[in-house]
Chains A and B, each alone.
Chain A
Amino acid sequence: MSTLDQNEAIVTPMDEAAGPADTETVGKISIGQYLSDHIRTYGMLIALIVIMVFFTYMTDGTLMRPVNLTNLFLQNSYIIIMAVGMLLVIVAGHIDLSVGSVVGFIGGLSALLIVQWDWPVPLAVLVCLLTGLAIGAAQGYWVAYWKIPSFIVTLAGMLVFAGLTIWLLDGQSIGPFPRNFQLLSTGFVPDPFPFVAEALGLRRFNTLAFLIGLVLSVAIVALAIRARRRHAAFGTEDEPFSFFIGRNVLVVAGIMYVAWLLATFRGLPNVLITMGILIVIYTFLTNATTLGRRIYAIGGNEKAAKLSGIRTDRLTFLTFANMGMLSALAGLVFAARLNSATPGAGRGFELDVIAAVFIGGASMSGGVGTVVGAVVGAFIMGVMNNGMSILGIGIDWQQVIKGLVLLAAVIFDVYNKQKVA
C-alpha cells in the first residue's frame, strides 16, 4: 500500500479536468443490445446449444439419450484434456502439432509396461505421465531457449513419436489391459447412496451424479452472484439483470439436465471427473493467477512482457512441458478406452485439438482465448461427430462439414472483432 500513498502526490496542475469522460455512465441497455455487444463471448456457446438441439431433433432424441450422452463424454474426453493444454500453448503464441503422436506413443508405452512387463498400474501411469512431461519439456526447450519456431519443432516431434510408436509396438497392437487400467476411461464412480434410489423407488438412479450436478450448480450460481456484486461495487456491471437471471437459469438447467441423464444411466464416468477437475484447475490458473496472466502477456506482446520482468523463456518452456503431460494423460485415457495400444493411435488428434481451441475463440497470434471456450469448441466438434455418425453420414462428408465449421467459427470471430474495432 505504501507506494500508492507515495504516488498519491502525483497530481498535475490541470487537476481533475478530465471531466465527464472519466466515468462513463452506463445506462440501462436492452438484452438484445447486450448480447450483440458480447456476441464473441456467448456466440460459441449458443452455437453449441443450437447444434445440440438440431441433432437431437434430427436423430429423434438419440443424441440426448443417457447412454449416448455418456458415450459423448467418453469419446471426447481425451480431446478436451489436450485442448486445455493446447489453449495455454496457443495463448502463449505457439502451436503443438505433436500431441497426436504423443498420445499414440504413451499408449504404446503403457501397454508395454502394463501388459508385457506386468508393472503395477499406478507406477506405470506415473512413468507415462513423467515421460509425457519429458517429451513436452524436450520440445519446449528448443522453442523457448533456442527460438526455433514451434511449428517446426513439433512437426518434427509429430514424425519422431509416430515413428517411435510403431517401433515400440513393433507394428502390432498390444492388449487387453487389466480391468483396473480400463477404469481410467470406462469406469464409473460408484454410488455411495444406493438407498436413496431405493427409497425413491427408482430402478436405476445414481444419486451421487445428481448430487454433484446440484453442488456444481449451486457453486456456479454463487460465484456468478459474487462476481456481479464485485462488478457492481466497482460500477463496471453492464449486464442487464434479466439477462443475468436468464443466463444462470439456462446454465443450471443444462447442468441439472445432464446430471439427471447421467444419473439415470450408469452415473458419473471417471474420466468426466478427471476432465472436470482439469477444467476447474486450468480455468483458475488462466483467470486468477499471476502465472496465467503472464502467459497471456507473452502471447500479447512477448518483447513488452520480457521488458516487464517476465521470464518469457521459462514460461514458454513450462507450457510445452504441461502440454506433454496432458498429452500423456490423454494417451492413457485413449488406450484404456480402446483397451489396446495400436501403432496408429492418436493420428490426427492434434488437428481436432487445435480446431477445438480456435473454434473456442483463441487467436492465432496468441494472447487471446479461454479454457471454457476451448472446451465448448471441443464439444461442438464432438457433438457434430457423434450426431453425424448417428445419422449415418459418411466419414467423407463428416470431414468436409467439420472443416467448414472450423472456418465459419473463425470467420465469425474475426468478423466480430472487426466490428468492435
Chain B
Amino acid sequence: MHDDIILEMRGITKTFPGVKALDDVNLQVRRHEIHALCGENGAGKSTLMKVLSGVYPHGTYDGSILYDGEEMRFSSIRESEQQGIIIIHQELALVPILSIAENIFLGNEIAKRGVIDWHEMWKQTEVLLNRVGLKEKPQTRVDQIGVGKQQLVEIAKALSKDVKLLILDEPTAALQEKDAETLLKLMRELRDRGITCIMISHKLNEIAEVADNITVIRDGHTVSTMPSDRREVLENRIIRDMVGRDLNNRYPARASHIGETLLEVQDWSVRHPIQTDRTIINDVNLNVRAGEVVGIAGLMGSGRTELAMSIFGRSWGGGQTGNVLIDGKMADVSTVPRAIDAGLAYVTEDRKSLGLILDETIVKNTTLAALPKISRRGVLDDTRERHVAEDYRRQLRTRTPSVFQKAGNLSGGNQQKVVLAKWLFSDPKVLILDEPTRGIDVGAKFEIYNIINELAGQGRGVLMISSEMPELLGMCDRIYVMNEGRFVGELTREQASQERIMEAIINAEKVNNHVDA
C-alpha cells in the first residue's frame, strides 16, 4: 500500500509577511494516477505546487516532502526537474519566435562541444511530438500554432526531460473545447503509460472526467481528499468543500425590471487595424435596455472582444461606420475618455495586461478611470480617495489585508473585483463585461454574478461576453449569437439553450461555406 504513494507532502506550512498561505497542508498522490487539486483562487494551490517544485526552496517552508519514499529538499526548480517533477504553468513558458524543437530542447540542446546537432534534435522532437499526438514539423515556429498545440509542445518538453510527476496548472483554461478534450485524452494516455499527473483546475466537469482522486484546499488548509467515483454527487461536494458551504444555485436569481433602451448600436462595421481591406465586424445592430443583462455568445475569434473594444472609444480596429446611441441620443464614442463620458465602461477580458496596473495599490487602481471625482482643480484628495477604495472593498468583498496592497498580489477573483470597482466608480450607464469570470473560481464567480445582478437592479445596462454558455444562459435576459463578425441570432431567455446557440452558429457557418463555394 505504502509503495503506491509516489508523493507525500506532510504538514506543509508556508508564511509570507503577514499572510499564512499554507497551514499544515497534506497531500498524497498515488503512482500512476491523475490527481486533481481544487480550491478557490488564493486557497494556496499554486503556492503548494511552488513548494513542491522548488520555486520556494527547502528551508523557506515547514513540513516535509516524500517522493518515491525519500525526503526531498529541493533548492531550485532544476533539482526537482532532475527528479522528474515538472510543472507546466498556466502562462506557457515557450519562446514564440523559436521553433518547436528549439523550445523543447531549450536549455538541454543536443550538442557536441557547444555545436548543436540539428538533425538529432529534430529526430527526437518528432518522436516526442508523436507521443503527444501533435502533427507539426519540429521546425515550425511556436507562434504559428494555436494555444492548444502549444500546450502539447509543453508536454512534449516535459517528456523530453523524462517526467515522472507532471503538474499542470489550469491546463485547459485558455483552450477551446476541442483542444481541451484532446489534452484530457492525452493526460489519460500518459497516466496509462506510467506518468503521474497533478492537475490544478477550476473546471469541475473536467475534473470529474479525468481525475482519479481529488484534493480540495481552502484558505491554506486541506479540506478533503476523495476518489472520483459517484460523479453525480462529486461536483456538488467539490463546490461545497471549496467554498465551505452549499451552492445550490450557481447563478443567483434576479427579478428583471427592464426599462428604456440605454445603448443602441446601429449598422456597426469595423475593419482590421492593419489589413484595412478586411471587415472584422459586419453590420452589427444591438441594444441594451436599463436593468437588462444582454449576452453575446460565440466561438473564440468570432469578433466579440473586437466589437466591444471598437464601441468603447475605438480601442480596436479602424474605419468604424455606424452609430452609437446612448439614452436615445447620438453619442460620441470616438475616444476612450468620450466613451466614458457618454456613460460606457469596458471591463476587459485580460485584466492583468489591460485592466490593472499590477504594481500599484488597490486604491490607485480603483480611482484611475474617474480621477476628477476625487480631485478639485486637478489636486487629488487622498482622504476621499481612500474612503472610495475602502467602500468598494467592502461592497465587493475584495479579500485583501488592506487597500494599500498591490493589485498584482491579489488572486484572480479579487483582481477582477478591483477592475469592477474602477468602473463602478466611473458611474457608467452601460457596462460591457468581457469574460467577467474567466480564470475565477466558483465562489468568486458567484459573487461576481451577484454584483452583475445588483448593477442591473440599479437600472444600469450590462452587455456580457462569455465563452461559457451555461453562464450566459444562467445570467442573461437576452443573448445575441455572433459568428465571424456578424450577429447570427438573437434569443430571449426563454428561447435560449446551448443547442439553439450552437445551431445558430452552425447554420451561419453553412451559409458562409455556401457563399465561399
Residues of chain A touching chain B, judged by Cβ–Cβ distance below 8 Å, are 3-4, 6-14, 16-18, 21, 23-24, 230, 233-234, 236, 288-291, 293-294, 296-297, 300-301, 303-311, 367-368
Contacts and interface: CB of A to CB of B under 8 A. Distances in A.
B397 A14 contact: yes
Contact of B425 (A3, A12, A23, A305): A3
Contact of B337 (A12, A13, A311): A311
Contact of B422 (A9, A16, A300, A308): A308
24 contacts: A3-B424, A10-B424, A13-B450, A16-B397, A18-B397, A21-B401, A24-B401, A288-B382, A289-B375, A296-B360, A296-B364, A300-B357, A301-B353, A303-B354, A304-B353, A304-B356, A304-B357, A304-B368, A305-B357, A307-B312, A309-B313, A310-B337, A310-B368, A311-B335
B397 A6 contact: no
Nearest 10 CB-CB pairs, A to B? Answer: A300-B357, A308-B369, A290-B371, A24-B401, A3-B427, A309-B337, A10-B454, A301-B357, A309-B340, A12-B450
A85 B269 CA distance: 43
Given A230-B383, A296-B364, 17 more contacts: A3-B373, A6-B427, A7-B392, A7-B395, A9-B457, A10-B395, A12-B450, A18-B399, A21-B401, A288-B380, A289-B380, A290-B380, A293-B371, A304-B368, A307-B312, A311-B337, A367-B357
Contacts of B427: 3, 6
A12 B443 CA distance: 12
Nearest to A420: B17
Interface size class of B (residues with CB under 8 A): 35 or more
**B contacts with A: majority SS:** helix
A293 B381 CA distance: 12
Contacts of A12: 396-397, 447, 450-451
Interface of B: 18, 252, 312-313, 315, 335-337, 339-340, 346, 348, 353-360, 364, 368-369, 371-373, 375, 378-380, 382-383, 386, 388, 391-392, 394-397, 399-402, 404, 422, 424-427, 447, 450-451, 454-455, 457-458
B401 to A, nearest CB: 4
A368 B402 contact: no
Nearest to B400: A21
B368 A305 contact: yes
A229 to B, nearest CB: 11
Given A230-B383, A290-B375, A367-B357, A309 B447 contact: no
Contacts of B380: 288-290, 293
A188 B424 CA distance: 54
A171 B346 CA distance: 58
A300 B354 CA distance: 11
B451 A10 contact: yes
Contacts of A21: 399-401
Contacts of B394: 16
B309 to A, nearest CB: 8
